[in-house]
Amino acid sequence: MKVFITDYGFSDINQEREIIHCAGHHLSAGQCKTPEAVLAAAADCDALLVQWAPITAAVINGLKQCRVIVRYGIGVDNVDLAAAKARGIPVCNVPDYCIDEVADHALAMALSLARQLPQIDCRVRGGTWKITPDRPMPALSAMTFATAGFGRIARAVLARASAFGCRLAAYDPYVKPEVFAANGVTQLTLEELFAQADVLSLHLPLTSQTKYLINASTLAKLKPTAIIVNTARGGLIDTFALAEALQSGVIAGAGLDVFEPEPLPDQHPLRHCGNAILTSHVGWFSDQSVPKLQRLAAEEVVRALRCEGLKNQVNK
């Protein structure tokens, strides 16, 4: 059978090639940027491995014999799940390859902002030596560290935050109360989340319901000392409203690893916010996470082609 990698940013695909060839299948790869390019290369393929290429309804309806679409990563917002389900094509992700890396990245940004390291570093470099910060600085042990979402990564972030004595809280309407209790985390409503969070770390998928969850209205509900961290999806935040809130003092800081669009445009006002940490979608990365992602994605393809049970289908 034919397996096609639509696009990839890895140094090589040797691991996928070995796994798929050992299973008796053929692997080819491209660097497709458009739906038309995907269809031109993959219409007759039995499986797709996808990183960023747009897998639209038109692409899915043009696939002649596809048995599975596997995304390199956790989010699947570049794949039309409903169209795939209508065609009977399972879509799978890799939700368990970079939990520690993203949790570490989120917490690192939160800690840096809570201790006002970017602002103080800038102040020292500018010649000002002062042993107190310019803004209020609550102790970490006095903070509520809250997550929007309570999945694998959110739980890992909160476990790390617990070491600093933070009160732990989360909002997730799809998780049962006993799960929150078992993890020592206070379950919040959405309104309570905005009212109580000192650090608000986002760990939600991007859907029509979560698009621009953070906007001018919800930002106004946060404490003026609040910090927002986003290592999930850029579209969760109206970044122009966020930049305005940062510049006007509505909230204290923001750490962003994801943006809409990516890369962040050169003239975006966030680039002028000294109370923001901006990183280039690197939260997922470590020397260990990349080969793990490639291996797990390729193994899921092989399971599908063998008609074995899939581990991570998202469009059942």
Per-residue model confidence as pLDDT tens digits over 74-116:
999 999 999 999 999 999 999 999 999 999 999 999 999 999 9
CATH code: domain 99-278 is 3.40.50.720
Q: Does the annotation count 281 as an active-site position?
A: yes
Arithmetic mean of pLDDT, 2-11: 97
- State yes or no: is 25 an active-site residue: no
Greatest alpha-carbon pair distance for the chain in Å reads 67
For the chain, residues classed under CATH 3.40.50.720 are 2-97+287-305, 99-278
Task: Give the CA angle between residues 80, 81, 82 to the nearest 5°.
Answer: 95
CATH architecture for residues 2-97+287-305: 3-Layer(aba) Sandwich (3.40)
Q: 137: pLDDT confidence band, cut at 50, 70 and 90?
A: very high
Terminal C-alpha separation, the chain: 24
Cα gap 316→305, rounded to integer Å: 17
CA dist., res. 258 & res. 276, Å (int): 13
Is 87 catalytic? The answer is: no
The sign one gets for the Cα dihedral 211, 106, 166, 270 is negative
Whether residue 114 contacts residue 140, with contact meaning beta carbons closer than 8 Å, is answered with yes
Between the alpha carbon of residue 172 and those of residues 35, 102, 149, 159, 185, the distances in Å are: 34, 19, 5, 16, 11
Q: What band does 122 get if pLDDT is binned at 50, 70 and 90?
A: very high
In this predicted model, what pLDDT tens digit does every residue of 200-254 receive, in sequence order?
A: 999 999 999 999 999 999 999 999 999 999 999 999 999 999 999 999 999 999 9
What is the value of pTM for the model shown? 0.93
| pLDDT value of position 4 | 98
pLDDT in tens, 298-314: 999 999 999 999 999 99
Catalytic residue chosen out of the listed positions 123, 167, 268, 281: 281
A 10 A CB-CB count for 228 gives 29
